[in-house]
Amino acid sequence: MQLGLSYLRIDALTKVTGRAKYADDISMVGMLYAKYVRSTIAHGFVTEIDYSQALALPGVVNIFTWQDVPQIPFATAGHAWTLDAKKRDIADRLLLTHHVRHFGDGIAIVVARDELTAEKAAAAVKITYEELPVITCPESAKATDAINIHSNGNLLKQTQITANEPASAIEKSQHQFSGRFTTPIVQHCHMESVTSFAWMEQSDRIIIVSSTQFPHIVRRIVAQALDMSWSKIRVIKPHVGGGFGNKQDVLEEPMAAFLTLKLGGAPVKVMLSREECFYASRTRHAFRIDAELGITSDGVLKGYQLDVLSNTGAYASHGHSIAGAAANKVAYLYPRSAFGYQATTCYTNLPSAGAMRGYGAPQVTFALESLLDDAAAQLGIDPVEIRLINAARTGDSHPINHSIIQSAGIIECLTKGRELFNWQARKTACKQMSGDIRSGVGVACFSYTSNTWPAGVEIASSRLLLNQDGIVNVQIGATEIGQGSDTVSAQMVAETLGMPVNMINVISTQDTDITPFDPGAFSSRQSYVTAPALQEAAQTLRQKIVQHAAIMLSQSESDLTIINGNLVSLSQTEKILMTVADVAMDTFYNPELGGQLSAESSCKTTNNPPAFGCTFVDLTVDIPLCKVTINRILNLHDSGRILNPKLAEGQVHGGMGMGIGWALYEELIVDEKSGIVRNANLLDYKMPTMLDLPELECVFIDNYEPQSAYGHKSLGEPPIISPAPAIRNALRMATGIAINSLPITPKRLFREFVQAGLIRG
């Protein structure tokens, strides 16, 4: 048994000792360095560019502007390719532009022999602009007299989904509740910045090394941007220092490829500074959500509607797919009620928004779980009880796509959490408090899917090779970006082969010339979608090992099996007959029989089970100081069978920390009039450190998912979803004030407390 045990991450020692090589650790002889010339305005046209002084600097190799790049619009979102042209991502970006659409847009790029010279040269380029009106909110972008940010207008896309006539269900309910909720722009703040470099080994092939979540999709998009054959691009992904969705976009890879193509194949590195990452990579979409629900006096949710207005910024990136996908994810949570969802996504002159952990679910869940809590308070129903009444149960079906929920553990999460958290006693104590220091408890739930099916084609591939010493090399397209997927992949292969985990060697570096195809790390999909391919390949390899062992032993295959790396006899009470290494040596060096044993598999997944969970929070509010202190926070998760408890716990803790940051601290501040980003650095962008976070607790509900190869479901993104509404709900219990905008900073609390009369003078 290899699954369900907390094996040490297979890359742990490599990383903590500093031996792991990331993209920026890899250098080449003759490496050139590129730095962008970026716009200092948020909207307008470049009318003149003077780079004569920059080009004259010693060490500057060349300078390219929008006039030098291919005029081929391309899409950057990390989605699987589709044969249906109508469903493809919006191609609205060029490598460089003279139509500036956001502060920091790329106008030109300098290539020099060292990084400092490139920076000096970029700063020496002089730009003259024709400025245009700046639009920073989607409400203004929708106005009839708004200037067009793109030639096709400012409306990217709209979606409307209904099930069981929600408007009628709400109207006929005994009680109706509504509210407007807003969520901020935030940045991923992964430890490793955005970096790529490229070179050419042949006259017609480009090799790219990149910190990316999806090397195979990078290959395709770079080829499209440069109008090349896909196979002429080779992408190598070394260790990655986090991505959280930001690197689920093609960022600087096309530029690196373009530059090496223009410079005779010389290696060129394009690396963004931390400041550039804030305004020139991707952010989380800011949502405005108008929510309403209808409910009975005894707490039965009859129907709810969410009207989402999404701000995608200057370019589409993942664009409307995030606002659209959120509907599918949240609808699993309370599936027996009527459901309505409308989403509109607009362009604005803000940094481009893209994928970020949770992919729209944190925003819409914040609105739904906050409004449901307000309804519970006004109806006098316990917040946990109202969720127990309405939450999904095994056998329920999704209201939109009608897929049957085959494992729903949200009821168990709520009941176990209520007990572990001592909910009733804490709630009673909080309601008896008054004065300047008050406490509150809150709860919120979530549902989330395990991949992108049916919106995207879900494919995964694996290749297993048996070495002479019995070690099995595993090649997979699934990318390890810090979440521990390589370790879990090793455990799955070991489980099926009947071998110890230390005999499984997962090749962590993906190389599109060598690695089997996989779209990459996103949508909490990797362990779920990769599992069938790993299982099938491992079963095939196991069978080949047994077959060869049977020949060696002159024994029936049916009497042999593999246990802990040994061939054993079933009829002789599992007597060890030989090792897998013995079999491997014979396959290689037997004069007549065998050959290296290997197995490959490529599988498509056509099911998508939801994961569930909830957060319980106990906090204290110091009203005069407008300070929130989280005393206790607990996440409970139904992610099916937990394959590696320690890794799972790490995932949950990381997500909880990000959720707390989103709720109380983080916000990218953009000047509404100029579009200039005011806090594009880790000093002014307030992100919680370890000292700011409370002790993080998590509990898993053991709930086998029958559609899964190994009984598991998604876990990577779910932990971030429910902390923010749980914190908001606890604040409402403590103060009586429903705060519907994030982040809940001291500044926002001060305004709310003054308005409510809690702070006077």
The pLDDT score that the predictor gives to residue 662 is 98
- Kindly report the number of other CB atoms within 10 A of residue 298's CB atom: 11
| Single-letter code of the amino acid located at 338 | A
Question: Token digits for 609?
Answer: 């089970």
The pLDDT tens digits of the residues spanning 308-343 come to: 999 999 999 999 999 999 999 999 999 999 999 999
What is the DSSP-derived secondary structure letter of residue 77? B
Strand order in the sheet with 437-448: 437-448, 611-622, 627-638, 696-700
What's the pTM?
Answer: 0.97
Q: Is the pLDDT of residue 734 over 90?
A: yes
Q: Give the DSSP H or E segment for 657.
A: helix 645-664
Q: Is the pLDDT of residue 240 over 80?
A: yes
The pLDDT tens digits of the residues spanning 556-593 come to: 999 999 999 999 999 988 899 999 999 999 999 999 99
- Length, in residues, of the chain: 761
Full DSSP string of 335-402: TTSEEEEEEEEEE-SSPPB---TTTTHHHHHHHHHHHHHHHHHHHT--HHHHHHHHS--TT-B-TTT-
- pLDDT tier for residue 760 given thresholds of 50, 70 and 90: confident
d(C-alpha 508, C-alpha 485), whole Å: 10
| Single-letter code of the amino acid located at 581 | A
The average confidence (pLDDT) of the chain is: 97
The pLDDT score that the predictor gives to residue 121 is 98
Phi/psi-derived region of residue 285, left when phi > 0, alpha when psi is between -120 and 50, beta in every other case = beta
Q: What does the CA dihedral 485, 486, 490, 491 come to, rounded to 10 degrees?
A: -30
In 3D space, the residue among 144, 98, 137 whose CA is nearest the CA of residue 349 turns out to be 137
Phi/psi-derived region of residue 141, left when phi > 0, alpha when psi is between -120 and 50, beta in every other case = alpha
In 3D space, the residue among 385, 390, 362, 422 whose CA is nearest the CA of residue 725 turns out to be 362
The pLDDT score that the predictor gives to residue 1 is 81
Q: Is the pLDDT of residue 761 over 80?
A: no
The pLDDT score that the predictor gives to residue 701 is 96
The pLDDT tens digits of the residues spanning 39-73 come to: 999 999 999 999 999 999 999 999 999 999 999 99
Strand order in the sheet with 504-507: 504-507, 472-476, 459-466, 598-604
d(C-alpha 565, C-alpha 581), whole Å: 8
Q: For strand 472-476 and strand 504-507, is the pairing parallel, antiparallel, or unpaired?
A: parallel
Q: For strand 598-604 and strand 126-131, is the pairing parallel, antiparallel, or unpaired?
A: unpaired
Question: Token digits for 27?
Answer: 């250098």
- pLDDT tier for residue 667 given thresholds of 50, 70 and 90: very high
Per-residue burial over 17-47, b if 16 or more Cβ lie within 10 Å, else e, is eeebebbbeeeeeebbbbbbbbbebbbbebe
d(C-alpha 595, C-alpha 601), whole Å: 19
The pLDDT score that the predictor gives to residue 434 is 86
- Kindly report the number of other CB atoms within 10 A of residue 632's CB atom: 16
Average pLDDT over residues 736-756: 97
Question: Token digits for 567?
Answer: 């061939």
The pLDDT score that the predictor gives to residue 561 is 96
- pLDDT tier for residue 391 given thresholds of 50, 70 and 90: very high
The pLDDT tens digits of the residues spanning 86-137 come to: 999 999 999 999 999 999 999 999 999 999 999 999 999 999 999 999 999 9
Average pLDDT over residues 599-608: 97
The pLDDT score that the predictor gives to residue 217 is 97
The pLDDT score that the predictor gives to residue 229 is 97
Q: Is the pLDDT of residue 349 over 90?
A: yes
d(C-alpha 567, C-alpha 153), whole Å: 67
Average pLDDT over residues 495-500: 98
The pLDDT score that the predictor gives to residue 91 is 97
The pLDDT score that the predictor gives to residue 203 is 83
Most distant CA atoms of the chain, gap in Å: 94
Angstrom CA distances, 346 to 139, 180, 316, 521, stand at 9, 18, 9, 27
The pLDDT score that the predictor gives to residue 202 is 83
Average pLDDT over residues 357-362: 98
CA angle 618, 623, 626 (to 5 degrees): 90
Helices (H) and strands (E) in the chain, counts: 19, 27
Average pLDDT over residues 498-522: 96
d(C-alpha 287, C-alpha 324), whole Å: 12
- Kindly report the number of other CB atoms within 10 A of residue 646's CB atom: 15
Average pLDDT over residues 498-526: 96
Average pLDDT over residues 299-305: 98
Beta-carbon contacts of 296 under 8 Å, excluding residues fewer than 6 positions away, are 173, 174, 175, 302
Percent of the chain with pLDDT over 70: 100
Q: Is 485 helix (H, G, I), strand (E, B) or coil?
A: helix
* Peptide bond before residue 454 is cis, with ω within 30 degrees of 0: yes
